[in-house]
Amino acid sequence: MVNTPSMSTTRRQPSLAQQLRQTILDADETPYGIATHTGVDHSMLSRFLRGERDLRLETAGKIAAYLKLELKPATKAKRKG
């Protein structure tokens, strides 16, 4: 098979959901504790962590704020034109 640009070795950044999932799993607090402190249903958070469901942006925002996360661009995008 020929290596095309779309198949190059350039690594994509993990999705926002993947990054949030990993941050929750790496936190010093249990997912149950995070859910309790943020008012998020712990079974819903558990399903998110297993990849069985997505979170609403509002819910992800509550968790991100509790964990003191910031959303930043990986690299500065250049505008065309």
CATH number, domain of 24, equals 1.10.260
pLDDT at position 14 is: 86
Task: Let me know if residue 35 belongs to a domain.
Answer: yes
Which domain, by its residues, includes 60?
14-66
Task: Let me know if residue 79 belongs to a domain.
Answer: no
- pLDDT per position in the chain (81 positions), as tens? 555 455 555 678 889 999 999 999 999 999 999 999 999 999 999 999 999 999 999 999 999 999 999 988 777 666 776
Task: Let me know if residue 2 belongs to a domain.
Answer: no
Task: Let me know if residue 54 belongs to a domain.
Answer: yes
Q: What is the pTM of this model?
A: 0.74
Task: Let me know if residue 42 belongs to a domain.
Answer: yes
Distances in whole angstroms, Cα of residue 43 to Cα of each of 29, 36, 60, 61, 80: 16, 11, 15, 18, 45
Task: Let me know if residue 72 belongs to a domain.
Answer: no
Helices 31-38 and 42-49: angle between axes, nearest 10 degrees: 130
Count how many domains the chain has.
Answer: 1
Task: Let me know if residue 56 belongs to a domain.
Answer: yes
